[in-house]
Amino acid sequence: MARTALKILLGFLSTAVFFAAFVLIGDVLLAAIAATAVVVVQFVFGRTTGAKPSVSMWASLAIVLILTGVSLKGDDVTASLASETDVTGSVANCACTPADKVRRLAVPFRQTPTAPAPGGV
């Protein structure tokens, strides 16, 4: 039982490396490269010892590649959440408050300063 749990944990080592590298580095591509390197090392080590790759290793590699693909597909720099409208710099059709209404507001520091009262404080 313990040996099977250890095999499963070692099989999903590349997924753990992927998430840890992503948290530490913050780059999906570098995390995927690190996780893929771990899988390659596991495959080479398995081939030299005569063991064949486990299903959990293949599943871990699939998880890493799928998460990387989904992350990079969603990371489209050309896509924007803003609308495709022409930016003219004009505020004629703007729904915001016009600047002249803001200028008419009473602001304490805009009023003329009064002289201090004579005498001590």
Question: Which residues neighbour 38 within 8 Å (Cβ) at sequence distance 6 or greater?
Answer: 13, 14, 17
Q: How far is 57 from 42, CA to CA, in rounded Å?
A: 8
What pLDDT tens digit does each residue of the chain (121 aa) get? 788 888 878 888 888 998 899 899 888 889 889 998 998 898 888 888 887 878 888 888 888 888 888 888 775 555 555 555 555 555 555 555 555 555 555 656 555 656 666 766 6
- Residue pair 17/34 in contact (Cβ under 8 Å)? The answer is yes
pTM above 0.85, yes or no: no
DSSP percent split of the chain into helix, strand, coil, nearest 5: 60, 0, 40
DSSP per-residue string spanning 6-33: HHHHHHTHHHHHHHHHHHHH--HHHHHH
